[in-house]
Amino acid sequence: MIEQIVEAIIQVTGAVLLSPLYSGIIDKLKGMVSMKRSQSVLQPYHDLTKLMRKKTVIPYDATWLFVYGPYFTFAIYLAISFVIPVVYPSPVFLTPTVDFLGGALLFSLVAFVKILCAADSGSNYVALGVSRIASFGFLAEATLVTVFFGVALATGTNNPYVESHYALEAPNYLSLDHLFATVSFFLLWLFETGRLPVESQGLSELGMVDDALTYEHSGKPLALLKWGSYLKSYLLGSVWINVFLIPWGGQLGVAGALADVGIMFIKWCVLIALTLAVETSFAKLRLFKVQDHLALAFVLSVFSLLFSVI
Amino acid sequence: MVAITLFILGVAPPLGLLRKKLGYSASALGSVAMIYTGIELHTLGVVTIFYIAAGLAWLFSSIYSMSYDHYTWLAPLFSLSVFGMAIALTASNFLAFLTGYEVMTIPAYVAVGLHRKTDYPAFLFMAFSELSTLLVFAGFLYSYTLTWSFSFQPLAAAWPALLCSLGFMIKMGILPFMVAEWLPIAHGNAPANMSSLMSASMTLIAAYGLVKMILLSPGSTAFGYFLMGIGAFSVFFGALYAYVSGHNKALLGFSTIENSGAFLTLVGVFLTAPTHLLSMFALISAAVYILAHTLSKTGLFLLAGMTESDPSSHSEKAVGSLSLSGAIVLTASMSGLLPTVGGVATWALLQSLFMEAYVLHSSLAVFPIVAGSVVAMGEGFAMSTMLKFVLFSGVFRKGGLRGVTRSVTVLAVGLTVLAAGSLIYLAYAPFLVSNTLGVYGIIASKFAGEPFGGVSPLYTLLLPLILAVLVFAFTGKPKTRRSEVWNGGTAIDDRYTPFAYSTNVRLMLGKVLFTRVRNDAVEVSNASWLILYRLSTLFAILSKTLSRTYMNSRLGWYVVYMVAALIVVTLVVMI
């Protein structure tokens, strides 16, 4: 049991500490490809440190939800990092808390709480962004659920660790259901992390989606919300890498868990390269076209389900 | 204990005539007795869940009503309806069930009629309720011809259950045309405590009746797939129409249809599951879904009662922080989020569908896969819908409506939903697995020996809470100062409205919602309601034409009519 607790600590710590780094690397490389003088890869850490020291401005009407909600959202992301294979390739301490579907429901819980925290400010701009997020939620949640079940139907279990082992074999890896699920999850990851072609970052009224959720926050709660976003990007990206794209290479044991942190970095380089290619090749979709992107992801995930059982 | 429960609930209506609070107190006492009866009869399996869910819903509604009721006849009508439900729930024969079914319906009709000055919602409710009763009656009559007994007994044919199911589905708002708008209209036009009874408890009674008849009948796989199909369809469209609804209580009414759809989908899995274990998992999950819906919907209708003075989407009333805390948990449950009981139910629903697809592993698996995918989309809409409800009840739109009893009641329902989520693993006794990697109370979904998936609702509550405390301890309390909201640097003159919140979807899904943009106004239509309305109009025109052409006081035509009627009746009797 102690060994599993140590492995869990390494997994969670690795996810929490390294998640801002990957975002920093992507931003740095994007700047380089665009021939711009770009920020340091450590910029997200500088931002978080600065925000942690800053005072928090609370709107007059806001309640405890606005101030303390971000602590809870960050905690849910931490809980998720116990249960899905984001560093270590075998179940760790507290992993059986939820299965793959339960993990998807926890991601939805974070979205729910984040929206409540943001809307508690009473800002119309937040409400505008929230209404946009809610408009796409039905396809995003459905894709997350169906893509997780795509591999569950192939393996006969909803345990993500078994699923990652299943894909180790070439016939399984190259099967149509696995390929459809892989593409579908990547499209979903682009949406969930607000990357092009469905970019949701920015404070322009016309395109503001995800940033509406942090629009009125400042100081520590904003730092936790931002860190939570990095963590979410890391968790979903790592699931995609470990279960779908590159299931190989995981090492067992405590020493193996430490090595897995480095191995994950190498694996993440592939995802960063892919993201960079997409982000520098595609134009931003108009707001209502985002549903087409998600509809494609959803249809592919349903195909994955169908191919896995028929 | 059943007799004592019925006695207490039976004396509540006359007591309510004398003094309102006395009537509601008796109903509350009877509800506690009903919960005790459920616990005492725990050997009845899923029936226990129905008893406890009903008892809790009545208890909270009764307590709330004590400070809510400003109407003349509401107390006895409320108590009588509860009494009717108790009769139906504890009935051991068809006659008692039908009596209870009618006793619960008629007071609700009167309450809707007295509450609104227009007759339309009350008549609509009565028409569909009586159609429901007629079909249930036909099913019971058919059962009688099979067993020659009025008691609930195992049946040799599936037809009585099919007839009854259609009747119960009407009561749930599923039929006709899957998403019938009559239910939101009727439920949205009753006083809040009665709305909560109609939407939560009456739906529970219909679900209970449906399960009871299906358990007594030989299984029909075809009917199971039918239920799965219309259930999934109702989940999606119920949630979609709730999302675009501009009326707070109608939104909750549509949400009831969505939840009834989820329940039917699980009953569909129960009937079509290839293994006994999966069948059992689906049945328990169906009862858990009803528990989640009954509790959460009760609380949300009670909350809606606090803001209902202006039911339009521009209402400026909003609740205070006490009831809002309860509302957040209740809406999380209705959004299918862990660690609430609604989250467990949604998890179990999706697990059941995809486990069935895995076990079937053939072209038949298309049914649960498509149903599961549609349900997943519906659940996504459900969360957006519930967010809309809670945001404009007190999170985004601020208020401070007072009323300690009512606020505490809503909070208590919320806490009950949270507690039920953590304790519901007790209902899944055959599906529990022992301590694994430090986690206790894991519900494992199974179709055979090995688990397919698993969740520990208690740990999904405790783990984030403990981690949140650790994060707080590590990062410390933020230094704060108060200021005006930034809002893009502009003063807030107009608030973002619930209508605007849903307009993106009105435009994006224009073809599904029949969206029309006229003079800057966006309107949508409910397709099923339009079909029903047009059919009714056609029927009215046909009747008018017939009556003017043939039934126009000419003796000759009357003789022809009577002869034709005689021939038709004779033929029917002969067949």
Chain A closest CA to B316's CA: distance in Å? Answer: 13
What does the alpha-carbon distance between residue B218 and residue B463 come to, in Å, rounded to a whole number?
44
Q: ipTM of the predicted structure?
A: 0.94
What does the alpha-carbon distance between residue A239 and residue A260 come to, in Å, rounded to a whole number?
14
A112 in B contact zone (CB under 8 Å): yes
- Report the alpha-carbon angle B517-B523-B527, nearest 5: 120
Q: What are the residue ranges of helices labelled H in B434-492? A: 457-475
Contact A60 B484 (CB under 8 A): yes
What does the alpha-carbon distance between residue B309 and residue B229 come to, in Å, rounded to a whole number?
38
A270 in B contact zone (CB under 8 Å): no
Long-range contacts of A44-49 (CB under 8 A, 24+ apart): A44/A20, A44/A226, A44/A230, A45/A20, A45/A21, A47/A223, A47/A226, A48/A20, A48/A223, A48/A226, A48/A227
pLDDT digits (tens, 9 = 90+) for B325-377: 899 999 999 999 989 999 999 999 999 999 999 999 888 999 999 999 999 99
Torsion, CA B155, CA B158, CA B161, CA B165, rounded to 10: 170
Is residue B312 over pLDDT 60? no
Q: What is the pLDDT of residue B98?
A: 94
Q: What is the pLDDT of residue A189?
A: 92
Least confident of A36-45, A59-68, B89-98, B506-515: B506-515
- CB-count exposure of residue A304 (10 Å: 0-12, 13-18, 19+): buried
Contact A116 B391 (CB under 8 A): yes
Q: Which of B406, B345, B385 is nearest to B505 (CA)?
A: B385
Q: Which residues of chain A have a CB within 8 Å of the CB of B486? A: 59, 123, 215-216
Interface test with A, best of B245, B377, B425, B502 (most A CBs within 10 A): B377
- CB-count exposure of residue B216 (10 Å: 0-12, 13-18, 19+): middle
B233 or B246: which leads in pLDDT: B233
A11 in B contact zone (CB under 8 Å): no
Q: Which residues of chain B have a CB within 8 Å of the CB of A67? A: 478, 480
What does the alpha-carbon distance between residue A130 and residue A214 come to, in Å, rounded to a whole number?
11
Contact A98 B460 (CB under 8 A): yes
pLDDT digits (tens, 9 = 90+) for B3-54: 899 999 999 999 988 888 899 999 999 999 999 998 887 766 788 999 999 9
Contact B478 A221 (CB under 8 A): yes
Q: Which residues of chain A have a CB within 8 Å of the CB of B437? A: 4, 91-96
Positive/negative CA dihedral, B238, B242, B247, B250:
positive
Helix (H) or strand (E) holding A59: strand A56-59
What mean pLDDT comes out for the span B448-452?
A: 84
Chain B closest CA to A246's CA: distance in Å? Answer: 23
- CB-count exposure of residue A205 (10 Å: 0-12, 13-18, 19+): exposed
**AA letter at B424:** I
Q: What is the pLDDT of residue B311?
A: 41
What does the alpha-carbon distance between residue A260 and residue B56 come to, in Å, rounded to a whole number?
50
A109 in B contact zone (CB under 8 Å): yes
pLDDT digits (tens, 9 = 90+) for A74-112: 999 999 999 988 898 888 888 889 998 999 999 999 999
Contact A135, B504 (CB under 8 A): yes
Q: Which residues of chain B have a CB within 8 Å of the CB of A141? A: 376-377, 379-380, 383
Contact B430, A155 (CB under 8 A): no
Q: Which residues of chain A have a CB within 8 Å of the CB of B510? A: none
What does the alpha-carbon distance between residue A20 and residue A22 come to, in Å, rounded to a whole number?
6
Query: Which residue of chain B has the CA closest to A97?
Result: B456
Find residue B432's DSSP bridge partners: B443
Q: Which residues of chain B have a CB within 8 Å of the CB of A219? A: 478-480
CA B251 from chain center: how many Å? Answer: 12
Least confident of B183-192, B412-421, B428-437, B489-498: B183-192
Contact A95, A161 (CB under 8 A): yes
Interface test with A, best of B244, B245, B375, B384 (most A CBs within 10 A): B384
When CB atoms are compared, the residue of A58, A100, A152 closest to B480 is A58
Which residue is listed with tokens 């450590």? A42
What mean pLDDT comes out for the span B427-449?
A: 86
Chain A to chain B, count of Cβ pairs less than 8 Å apart? 287
Q: Which residues of chain B have a CB within 8 Å of the CB of A124? A: 487-488, 492, 494-496
Q: Which residues of chain B have a CB within 8 Å of the CB of A55? A: 478-481
H/E/C letters for each residue in B350-408?
Answer: HHHHHHHHHHHCCHHHHHHHHHHHHHHHHHHHHHHHHHHHHHHHHHCCCCCECCHHHHH
Q: Which residues of chain B have a CB within 8 Å of the CB of A149? A: 350, 354, 372
A172 in B contact zone (CB under 8 Å): no
Long-range contacts of A18-23 (CB under 8 A, 24+ apart): A18/A234, A18/A261, A18/A264, A18/A265, A19/A227, A19/A230, A19/A231, A19/A233, A19/A234, A19/A235, A20/A44, A20/A45, A20/A48, A20/A227, A20/A230, A21/A45, A22/A230, A22/A233, A22/A234, A22/A237, A22/A268, A22/A272, A23/A230, A23/A233
Contact B460 A57 (CB under 8 A): no
Contact A238, A14 (CB under 8 A): no
> Given the DSSP bridges, would you call strands B480-483 and A56-59 parallel, antiparallel or unpaired?
parallel
Contact A102 B338 (CB under 8 A): yes
Query: Which residue of chain B has the CA closest to A70?
Result: B468
When CB atoms are compared, the residue of B379, B452, B496 closest to A158 is B452
Tens of pLDDT, residue by residue, chain A (310 residues): 788 899 999 999 999 999 999 999 999 998 898 888 888 999 999 999 999 999 999 998 898 899 999 999 999 999 999 998 889 888 888 888 999 899 999 999 999 999 999 999 989 999 999 999 999 888 998 999 998 888 788 888 888 888 778 888 888 888 888 999 999 999 999 998 888 777 767 677 767 788 888 999 999 999 999 999 999 999 999 999 998 899 888 888 889 889 999 999 999 999 999 999 998 888 888 888 888 999 999 999 999 988 888 7
Given pLDDT bands bounded at 50, 70 and 90, which one contains residue B313?
Answer: very low
A91 in B contact zone (CB under 8 Å): yes
Highest-scoring range by mean pLDDT, A206-210, B21-25, B118-122, B184-188: B21-25
Given pLDDT bands bounded at 50, 70 and 90, which one contains residue B117?
Answer: low
Q: Which of B382, B423, B339 is nearest to A79 (CA)?
A: B339
Question: Angle, nearest 10°, between helix axes B74-90 and B20-40?
Answer: 20
Asked if the bond preceding A59 is cis, omega within 30° of 0, the reply is: no
Find residue B442's DSSP bridge partners: B433
Contact B387 A131 (CB under 8 A): no
What does the alpha-carbon distance between residue B79 and residue B27 come to, in Å, rounded to a whole number?
6
Chain B closest CA to A254's CA: distance in Å? Answer: 16
Given pLDDT bands bounded at 50, 70 and 90, which one contains residue B316?
Answer: low
H/E/C letters for each residue in A250-279?
Answer: CCCHHHHHHHHHHHHHHHHHHHHHHHHHHH
Give residue limits of the domains in chain B. 1-149+166-200, 219-476, 527-574
Contact A75 B470 (CB under 8 A): yes
Q: What is the pLDDT of residue B178?
A: 59
Contact B460 A137 (CB under 8 A): no
What does the alpha-carbon distance between residue A193 and residue A236 come to, in Å, rounded to a whole number?
9
Q: What is the pLDDT of residue A112?
A: 95
When CB atoms are compared, the residue of A91, A127, A132 closest to B504 is A132
A310 in B contact zone (CB under 8 Å): yes
Contact A144, A104 (CB under 8 A): yes
What does the alpha-carbon distance between residue B65 and residue B59 come to, in Å, rounded to a whole number?
10
Query: Which residue of chain A has the CA closest to B488?
Result: A125
Find residue B401's DSSP bridge partners: B319
> Given the DSSP bridges, would you call strands B451-455 and B442-446 parallel, antiparallel or unpaired?
antiparallel
Contact B332, A112 (CB under 8 A): yes
